[in-house]
Amino acid sequence: MQPFDLKTPKTLDEAIAELPQERSRTAPQVIAGGQDILTVMKDDIAAPSALVEIGGLDLGGIETAADGSLQMGALVTIQEIADDGRIAERFPALADAAKSIASPQIRSHATIGGNLNQKPRCPYYRHSAVSCFKKGGNVCLAEFGFNKYAAILGGGPSYFSHPSDMATALMLYGAVVTAQGPRGVREIALSNYYLLPDMALDRESVLESDEIITKITVPAPRAGLRSTYMKFKERASYDFALGAVAVSLMLDGNTIQEASVVLGGVAPTPWPSPEAAQALIGKEMGPNAWNEAGEAAMAEAVPLEHNGYKVHLMKGVLYRALEQLA
Ligand SMILES: Cc1cc2nc3c(=O)[nH]c(=O)nc-3n(C[C@H](O)[C@H](O)[C@H](O)COP(=O)(O)OP(=O)(O)OC[C@H]3O[C@@H](n4cnc5c(N)ncnc54)[C@H](O)[C@@H]3O)c2cc1C
């Protein structure tokens, strides 16, 4: 790891003033819980000249607003989300996603703002001796190499899969990110937040290098909405998703009136599947509808040499999630 300055601003404005207008390998970056940025630096993916430590800013707290929306400060930890009874009751997919992440020790440091902005886990990208599209190189080694963990949807020219469980669950609920920078405050729907590799290779989101996420807002769920998050990991202990689904349904008796499906771990961004939702709407809850949803969700999948298993896995994970909502 290269030497760096540690900036400890006392206010949000001071923190923003320390951030660069242009992103680069050596440009200053935000550090929150440090669970990802420090490994990124150790892996020599970035060598920021300074880290801007935002842990001392007033960006914590989980609140229910007057309109029933959930408001989470960017520094809220994943463990706080996992422990919050209000979230478990109203946004079960969010609580389940939080509980599925890492270990209690890591969750107690990892913040929601950092989780949404963590870097991909592709082993080639994370290897200090390897250059790839995302590090300014001219190849994606995962495309024809070890691609067990790579994307089967939305990949190319780079094939990493998105790592954040929280992003998948938050997208299901229509969450909005509030970001502040020198040009002011802006609200970004999470559905518009992430960028595919064919849109940008040096970044994964629309967040500018001089912006800080201050809070995440999740609209109040409608009465009767059922939702869940289901994740398949390679290891029984902590691990990133090989495949995950966040699903919500509105039922009229046993008939599916409305459905929403977001897939995780299979694309470079959380991957909404309107196809799976359409396959469910108007159907009776039961194995036929659940199987059809899986087929629809995977209809456009293009597996690489070693990740065809994800197609079968995702059909199974979606089936089980829907079964859980019955
Ligand atoms: C062993 C291990 C297992 C893990 N397993 C999982 C898993 O299963 N699922 C999962 O989703 N995650 C997993 N993670 C990832 C972990 O959840 C994230 O690394 C963590 O949430 C990042 O939060 P942080 O506060 O530590 O971010 P940091 O490491 O401090 O920052 C991460 C990135 O976000 C940026 N950033 C942080 N806060 C802000 C902000 N407010 N505004 C703008 N930019 C910001 C930083 O500049 C940096 O680029 C795992 C991590 C480890 C180490």
Digit-coded pLDDT (tens) for 263-304: 999 999 999 999 999 999 999 999 999 999 999 999 999 999
Evaluate: CB of 161 within 6 angstroms of ligand 1.
Answer: no
The residue contributing the CA closest to ligand 1 atom 44 is 212
Evaluate: CB of 73 within 6 angstroms of ligand 1.
Answer: no
The residue contributing the CA closest to ligand 1 atom 28 is 34
Evaluate: CB of 146 within 6 angstroms of ligand 1.
Answer: no
Q: What is the pLDDT of residues 149-197, one digit of tens each?
A: 999 999 999 999 999 999 999 999 999 999 999 999 999 999 999 999 9
Give the tokens for residue 302: 């293009």
Q: Which helix (H) or strand (E) holds 8?
A: none
Q: How far is the C-alpha of 185 from the C-alpha of 181, rounded, in Å?
A: 6
- Nearest atom in ligand 1 to the alpha carbon of residue 214 is 41
Distance 36 CA to ligand 1 centre (A): 5
The superfamily (CATH) of domain 226-325 is: CO dehydrogenase flavoprotein, C-terminal domain (3.30.390.50)
Q: How many residues does the chain have?
A: 326
Q: How many CB atoms lie within 10 A of CB 286?
A: 13
Evaluate: CB of 48 within 6 angstroms of ligand 1.
Answer: no
Q: What is the pLDDT of residues 201-216, one digit of tens each?
A: 999 999 999 999 999 9
Distance 32 CA to ligand 1 centre (A): 8
What pLDDT score was predicted for residue 100? Answer: 97
What pLDDT score was predicted for residue 29? Answer: 98
- Nearest atom in ligand 1 to the alpha carbon of residue 231 is 8
Q: Is the pLDDT of residue 236 over 90?
A: no
The residue contributing the CA closest to ligand 1 atom 27 is 114
What pLDDT score was predicted for residue 239? Answer: 94
* Mutational pocket test of ligand 1: of 16, 26, 30, the residue with most ligand atoms within 8 Å of the beta carbon: 30
Q: Give the bridge partners for 244, in sequence order.
A: 231, 264
Exposure letters 82-107 (e unless 16+ CB within 10 A, then b): bbbeebbebbbbbbbbbbbbbeeeeb
The residue contributing the CA closest to ligand 1 atom 48 is 37
Q: Is the pLDDT of residue 319 over 90?
A: yes
Distance 35 CA to ligand 1 centre (A): 5
What pLDDT score was predicted for residue 175? Answer: 98
Q: What is the pLDDT of residues 41-77, one digit of tens each?
A: 999 999 999 999 999 999 999 999 999 999 999 999 9
Q: Is the pLDDT of residue 223 over 90?
A: yes
Evaluate: CB of 30 within 6 angstroms of ligand 1.
Answer: yes
Evaluate: CB of 31 within 6 angstroms of ligand 1.
Answer: yes
Q: Is the pLDDT of residue 1 over 90?
A: no
Distance 109 CA to ligand 1 centre (A): 9
Q: How far is the C-alpha of 252 from the C-alpha of 230, rounded, in Å?
A: 23
